[in-house]
Structure 1
Amino acid sequence: MSALPGRALVVVENLSVPFDRRVWQECQTLTGHGWEVEVICPQGTKRDTESDVVIDGVRIHRYPLEAASGGPQGYLKEYGTALWHTNRLIKRIQKRAPVDVVHLCNPPDLLFLPALRAKARGARIIFDQHDLVPELYLSRFREKRDSMYWAMRLLEWATYRTADTVIATNESYRAVATGRGRVPVEDTFVVRSAPAVERFRLRTPEPSLARGKEHLLCYLGVMGPQDGVDYAIRALADLRERRDDWHAVFMGTGDAFDDVVALAQAYGLDDQVSFTGRIPDEDVLRHLSTASVCLAPDPRNPLNDVSTMNKIMEYMAMGRPVVSFDLVEARVSAGEAAVYARPNDVAEFAGLVSELLDDPRRRAAMGEIGVDRVSGPLSWTNSEKELLAAYESATRGR
């Protein structure tokens, strides 16, 4: 049974909407079940640039935001700007008509602050924990738990305390919420991120994308310090010593982009590795349809071991075999659709890529397993049931 429809306000700081596909799927599910949905999010740079727009019945309010750079001061500026605009927009929306639910999507774990205004007027708060921010901090900047780490734990705790219901992206995140967050298990729901399978349709392979080589290798996703693209480059340098019948394409961008391009050049991989930056969805599908093997080089660290990687889910949706490091949630997502190297072992990672390139039957079988998983037990159809249950729980008795 779904919750009685009302007005939901979804607050996002990390990405624009609908570019944030998880958030957009949630919005579409809610509107499809009678909810009136509004979103507060930053503006994009090349897309999602309008300040106010209605898309498929969802009213989106966007504000200008410059992503952090230059260390802690950059994040202070980014988050301060985001909180000011979010508070301003919540006041405007609440003045027009009170909302029943404020749906907070982290990072950062600061969004509970502007949400307190709505909570004081009777709104229920749902915390949709996309990232474990303390672990994200350790994975990007520090190996030891310093004062900044504990400050982030305090903000996470405050967000848990403010929320009436917590949504986790997987069981590992749910265990954090019920463990250190002390959230009652009945107030937690697992809404796994899942690709919209209707978007991921195979195109006719284009061998020219492999630049004259027999095989195309693909990476798709963000390129931050914690995402392991540097591990992929080192693995490809090892792979080149074994064989040269491949070309690799890295699709995406991030604050480690320039560093990994320089690393590829330092290894002399200019002729075998291409970096496209962020490209249109159709071009992504063309590359993935041609790929022999897809790369998930996320190293084991406090965040990655317990996080669901969207890239793995999207690779599976396209029926591509995956090479990953052996992480807890990577196995939960991919199962036998991937092969797993010892964590952070680039030589073994390269060896597994080579093994798959020599075994087309195995690649095809792994691809079929992946498609079955994202179309079945890991599909958005199952996730949206949990989303609606979370809303019902949050609004029960309102």
Structure 2
Amino acid sequence: MIKIAMVVFSHYPTDPRVRREAEALVEAGMSVDVISLIRHDGEATRASVNGVAVHRIPLRQKRAGKLQYFIQYGYFIVAAFLKLSRLHLSRLYDIVHIHNMPDILVSTALLPKMTGSKIILDLHDPMPELYMTKYAMDASHPVVKVLRTLEKLSILFADRVITPNIAFRDLFVSRSCPPWKIHIVMNSPQEHIFHTRDIIPVDDSSSHKRDKFHLMYHGLIVERHGLDDAIAAVSELRDKIPNLKLHIYGDGEFLGDLKEKVYRSGVGDWVKFYGFVTLEQIAAAISQIDLGIIPNKMGPFTNLNFPTRIFEYLSMEKPVVVPKTRGICDYFPEDSIYFFEAGDVNSLAKVISKAYKNPREYNLMVKRGMDIYHQHRWGLEKQRLINLVLNLLGTHQTPFGKELNNEASL
């Protein structure tokens, strides 16, 4: 049996990408241990979740400034290094799969690397661009330069690199990663959680008028995700669309400011907050809404990112409003999804209004968006991951292996 260890500076199983990948490898007959954070004080440090053995470091991730982040990173790197080294001495892992951030977390796999284990570095996000966006830094800032150096060293240390979209892959290749070394495994939702649930198509007859229109956002609540713009758009539309509602699921450092904006704008009856909920609860909520919104602002990171939420809405036959960015345009042409100009409240409001007023186009957007989603559904993406693992170990591959190798050569 192939034995794999994963290390991630977040909570398991809350982190959806790590959960998807770990469970896919277990389903393929491999053994997977995950070293992660705890979510709350008193949480068990050992657990088994859907066949994945979880080893939690007693540290909670806290939203903080740059210095506090680096302190948390440092503590976790040392603790995870010791935990992984101890586990490796008894388990002798074939592969250690490291999830950024931070990139330098790959250093926790030093002992397995020295004893012959293969190392996969899973670059969820490019750290330099994320810090540039989050802290308003430019490319010449010393912190950004350090992050680029650490990224380069981390990629050099790894045997293979995976990342979730074309824009990220091209960025890493342009900086330091050989094209043969990097593969794309997209953030597609698990189909047993996100699937259609007796969806009834919208009546697109000219005489039909909807008696309600419910919007939804789910995910991390931070300023760069543009929820202040979404609330401003709802405020602009509340007298134009009957029974307009915005449902917000998630938590984050910007939540307090957002609630204050709702209060000041007088839209408390139109906007509802639900806090953190499970993926299963998110899927159930999506089945009840009319339109997903991803109101990201434009920035060095958000321009390249491809939000997982796009596929989560489309997998359940719900159209979605997204910013017109490089990371999304790589996959979606103009007529397959509702685009708005990032950071432009008027543009966002117009697109929401358009989705409400034109049921025929609404149904077309669902169909076209789903056609693209089905090309990248998790059933295909997880096979790419499995093939990558098998190829790295020189083991037999499924027919997807040819496709995987071709993709890596792009």
Q: Any stretches of 5+ residues in structure 1 without a counterpart? A: 206-211
CA shift for structure 1 position 251: 0.9
The CA RMSD measured in Å over matched residues stands at 2.3
Counting aligned pairs with the same residue, the percent is: 26
Distance in 2, matches of 1:223 and 1:35, equals: 35
- TM-score scaled to structure 2, two decimals? 0.87
The aligned counterpart of 2:202 is: none
CA shift for structure 1 position 315: 0.9
Residues 167 and 390 of structure 1 are in contact (CA less than 8 Å); yes or no, is this contact kept in structure 2? no
Does 2:60 match 1:52?
no
Query: What secondary structure is seen at the aligned counterpart in 2 of 1:195?
Result: coil
- TM-score scaled to structure 1, two decimals? 0.90
Distance in 2, matches of 1:57 and 1:318, equals: 26
Matching residue within 3, 7, 11 for 1:7: 3
Distance in 1, matches of 2:287 and 2:29, equals: 36
The aligned counterpart of 1:117 is: 111
Residues 17 and 60 of structure 1 are in contact (CA less than 8 Å); yes or no, is this contact kept in structure 2? yes
Query: What secondary structure is seen at the aligned counterpart in 2 of 1:226?
Result: helix
Matching residue within 116, 120, 129 for 1:126: 120
Amino acid at match of 1:84: V
Amino acid at match of 1:369: R
Q: 1:333 to 1:278 in 2, by over 3 A?
A: farther
Amino acid at match of 1:139: T
Residues 291 and 318 of structure 2 are in contact (CA less than 8 Å); yes or no, is this contact kept in structure 1? yes
Q: Relative contact order, CA 8 A, sep 6+: which one is greater?
A: 1
Matching residue within 65, 76, 82 for 1:71: 65
The aligned counterpart of 1:250 is: 248
CA shift for structure 1 position 310: 1.1
CA offsets 1:293-325 (integer angstroms, 9 cap, x no match): 111101221111111101111111111111111
The aligned counterpart of 1:297 is: 295
Distance in 2, matches of 1:64 and 1:120, equals: 27
Query: What secondary structure is seen at the aligned counterpart in 1 of 2:215?
Result: strand
Amino acid at match of 2:91: A
Residues 202 and 285 of structure 1 are in contact (CA less than 8 Å); yes or no, is this contact kept in structure 2? no
Distance in 1, matches of 2:386 and 2:190, equals: 18
The aligned counterpart of 1:26 is: 21
Distance in 2, matches of 1:69 and 1:23, equals: 20
Q: 1:117 to 1:387 in 2, by over 3 A?
A: same
Residues 100 and 125 of structure 2 are in contact (CA less than 8 Å); yes or no, is this contact kept in structure 1? yes
Structure 1: 4+ residue segments shifted above 6 A = none
Distance in 2, matches of 1:159 and 1:324, equals: 32
The aligned counterpart of 1:199 is: 193
Distance in 2, matches of 1:392 and 1:204, equals: 38
CA offsets 1:308-355 (integer angstroms, 9 cap, x no match): 101111111111111111012223445444211122211011011011
Pairs within 5 Å for 1:140-159 = 140-145=134-139, 146-159=141-154
Distance in 2, matches of 1:99 and 1:200, equals: 32
Q: Any stretches of 5+ residues in structure 2 without a counterpart? A: 200-209, 396-410
Q: 1:372 to 1:197 in 2, by over 3 A?
A: farther
The aligned counterpart of 1:176 is: 171
